[in-house]
Chains A and B, each alone.
Chain A
Amino acid sequence: MLQKRGGIRPWLYIGPALLLLVAFLVYPSLDTFRRSLMDARSEEFVGLRNYEFAFTAEEMRISFRNNLTWLVLFTIFTVAGGLVIAVLVDKVKYESLAKALVFLPQAISFVGAGVIWKFIYDYNPNVGLLNAILTTLFPDMDRIGWLVNSDIATYALIATGIWIWTGFAMTILSAAVKGIPDEIIDAARMDGASGWQIFWQVTIPMISSTIAVVATTMVINVLKVFDLVYVMTAGRYRTNVIANQMYKELYTNRQNGRASAISVILLAVIVPVMLVNIRRFQIQEERR
């Protein structure tokens, strides 16, 4: 039945999509590989010089290190925080309200979130909440330049990222927590397990695959971090990350070759994580 209606028709339906995909994703990706081996204006072949720059330049090394810091702290805090909140709100009647409030930052742009947190971090204690609390509690202590102190600024940005994404982790993990059959929890309780033991020995093992999905999603988010750094510090005070370096080489320095090489490195890091993620997503879809 279905086979008879073949021929050219399917290609009319998928044609426009294929055309756009080739023009905006397939061809540009291949061309970026080529350009990563060319000079700033994509005219002369320069071998691996752009990759050499990407892996050895001081500013690039700082960016890689910052991405790594993001990767560890952001992933741990969003996943652990999301899980703890998911388990806690499961026990109260105003669960949906509490979850909505934690999820809310997901609706706001990173630009908006950046502005919000710039005010939290402001150096002036008549503006910045953190310094206001600090100077009230400890009048003798110096104010902290959250966003202008090179030792602290990246952590301040990461905290903002955690504020944005914990709600996302919480929502997915909350669904998984609710999926654990009541009988299992009851049985554990009958056996005398405490709430703490149930959390570590029942809840976490039962939802470990969901935790893995959320963690890989967070890893991908880290590699795409751009807006927060752009808005909050503009990459100063040693806060730049890979995506912002790429933008700088492309737009400010007009270094097409370097920008392309950084993109290829980004791709190489993202692909394995994405493959795991899509695979899990597919398994999840099939189960539904």
Chain B
Amino acid sequence: MKQKASNALSSFPVHVAVVTIAFIWTLPSMGVLINSLRPPQAIKSSGWWSVFRTPFDFTQWTLENYETVLSTEGLARSFRNSLMISIPATILPILIAAFAAYAFAWMKFRGRQVVFAIVVGLLVVPLQMTFVPVYSMFTRLGLTGTFVAIWLAHTGYGLPFAIYLLRNFFGSLPKDLFESAFLDGASYVTAFFRLALPLSVPALASLAIFQFLWVWNDLLVALIYLGGHPSVAPLTVRVAGLVNSLGADWHLLPAAAFISMILPLIVFFSMQRYFVRGILAGSVKG
């Protein structure tokens, strides 16, 4: 341990700085959260900070905005759509990547290094490079605007990073373990399900959290392959649409935004360690 706060006098400015920074960083989200819980009239006529003038007046709080956006603005539908998109778009790429990563880590075959290098190389491709051809492919197949299209797209886009991460992890597992399992007559499939996967739970958890949040928070891919139709639009597309379409009902935006954030925030607070690890590793994703 380093000596922390060893000298109270010299560390006073440090405390002021840290508390100020934490305060400034929290303020924007707090403000919108407070606003989302106020009656429409109050949101429009006074700033959210005015609640602190009468902190014990509980009549200034309401869930009205949440009820309105969930029902009349279709946010409940979008929430279901987001789940419908994100869950398969998390499981599919990880499963497919795990099989591939396992082969790259524990099987010897001609071209292994080359193929793996190409897979890693695909990390550099910005998604924009694929939009025009994939969009016209989906149009030809009649898949534009369907969940199948976006599942497939997110699976393809998520694979290079998932394979890269899992291959590194599988490769770092003890070699003896696999060799003795094979000597005992274990098949590759058995070793995959009984050894590789169970031993990789931390890596799989970080990867799953990263991929899930990536898809949940994605706007661009959904805009292009799904379009804005309410029957398929996820929360990001719907909320982005509301920003322009709400007009006089703009007081509903804070509630809508918070509904789109609630799940990521729960994941963040309940699994902070895996979350941070996943986000940091994910920075190499294209």
Contact = CB atoms under 8 A, between A and B. Distances in A.
Interface of B: 2, 4-5, 10-11, 14-15, 17-19, 21-22, 25-29, 31-32, 35, 43-47, 49, 96-97, 99-100, 102-104, 106-110, 112, 115, 119-120, 122-126, 128-137, 152-153, 155-157, 159-160, 163, 168, 179, 182-183, 188, 213, 216-220, 223-224, 235-236, 239-240, 243-244, 253-254, 256-258, 260-261, 264-265, 267-268, 272, 275-276, 279-280, 283-284, 286
B254 A14 contact: no
Closest 7 CB pairs of A and B: A24-B156, A109-B217, A13-B103, A28-B130, A17-B100, A274-B124, A28-B133
A98 B22 contact: yes
B40 to A, nearest CB: 13
A20 B96 contact: yes
Contacts of A285: 168
Is the contact region of chain B dominated by helix, strand, or loop, or is it mixed?
A: helix
A119 B284 contact: no
**Of listed B217, B272, B275, residue having the most chain A CB within 10 A:** B217
Main secondary structure of the interface of A (DSSP, over half): helix
A95 B31 CA distance: 24
A278 B123 contact: yes
Contacts of A115: 32, 239, 243, 253-254, 256-257
A20 B256 CA distance: 35
Contact of A91 (B14, B99, B108, B152): B14
A217 B106 contact: no
Interface string A140-167: 0000000000000000000000010011
A32 B133 contact: yes
A263 B99 contact: no
A111 B260 contact: yes
Given A14-B104, A17-B97, A263 B26 contact: no
Contacts of A7: 109
Size category of the A interface is 35 or more
A55 interface: no
